[in-house]
Structure 1
Amino acid sequence: MKVNSKYFEKIRIRPEKKAEANASAPRCQWDGCDAPGTHRAPVGREREGEYFRFCFDHVREYNKGYNYFSGLRDTDIQRFQKEALTGHRPTWKVGLTGPGGSKPSGDFAPFRSGRAGYYKRIGDPFNLFGEAAAEARAATPAKRVRPLEAKALETLGLGAEATGEDIKARYKTLVKRHHPDANGGDRGSEARLRDVLQAYRLLKQAGFC
């Protein structure tokens, strides 16, 4: 193609994107500045979603002195940071049904599937869960405990003769005792809670509970 071709006359050079952005941007809101406001800066607390428009130099200057917690007391800042851990949603201690600490009005455990009391609701005409079942379980030889399983039982404070119900009851007690929500946010027993969870998971996979 020749340099002086007629096709070159029809070619239009696209302006740079930066130049386009500057042309469409509003004027910088910094006092005395007429540059394009191409950068957003948050207005502040309780006005989330609102922004100032500054040029590059003034948005840097604004960000140096920006403080979201300006005007708040230290106690309010600490409470905000604590509530941020749960997404500012209401929480309450383990075992309580609501923030007021109210207990359930009735015990519905017998009506939950998988619980020992479930068969009472549907009946047991063939005595599958009664005395015959208890005798059969008593006649069954004790399950051999492996070293890892023995270590898990020791972590829960139980011996090799512990039943599945004993393991579940002990697990619930330890979780309530060491969970951060149950001890006022104290994280000192997180390692202990982690060991309890791992021990219970191992015993459950091994068929102990």
Structure 2
Amino acid sequence: MSKARRSNDWGFPRWRGYGSGREATNVRICDRHGCSDPGDCPAPKSPNSPERWYFCQKHAAEYNSGWDYFAGLDAEEAAQRESSERAQTAGYKESSHYGWAGSGDGTRTRDEMRALEVLGLDPDADFDAVKKSWRAKAKEVHPDVRPGDAEAAKAFQAYQVAYEVLRQAEERREWKG
């Protein structure tokens, strides 16, 4: 007679690996017509509705780009909702100062802080100061001014990357309003 083996699938902790079940995993497909990527980003079908579309990340970004959170509300109701939600989340905004970004007031990312260091600027410098510093430093090490100088070319590329990071951050801030 053969002895029955005891299963490893009992008690706590489960002795088999998580996700190693034999059953098929349900994957929801993106609700966008023609897309076969997993739809793991919920998006509301209409304002104040519990019904959701499920998009892939690319289509969720496309869908949300034109989303108006305050659709159907008059100006007074929209202002009231915005102020109540800001009051509820004010602690998060206030605590962003103590995040991982380091110096500054918490409104700049680590990459922006590094870019400001490359350009030799303070953490609270405005974009006009960034432009001015970038132009001055780029003129000194431009490949047309210093042809054949590898260090100057490397410094020029660093200034270009720093300026691009700060320019994109400024555009995002203007877009958010």
Q: One fold, TM greater than 0.5?
A: no
TM-score by length of 2: 0.35
TM-score by length of 1: 0.30
Query: Which has the greater radius of gyration?
Result: 1
Higher-helix-fraction structure:
2
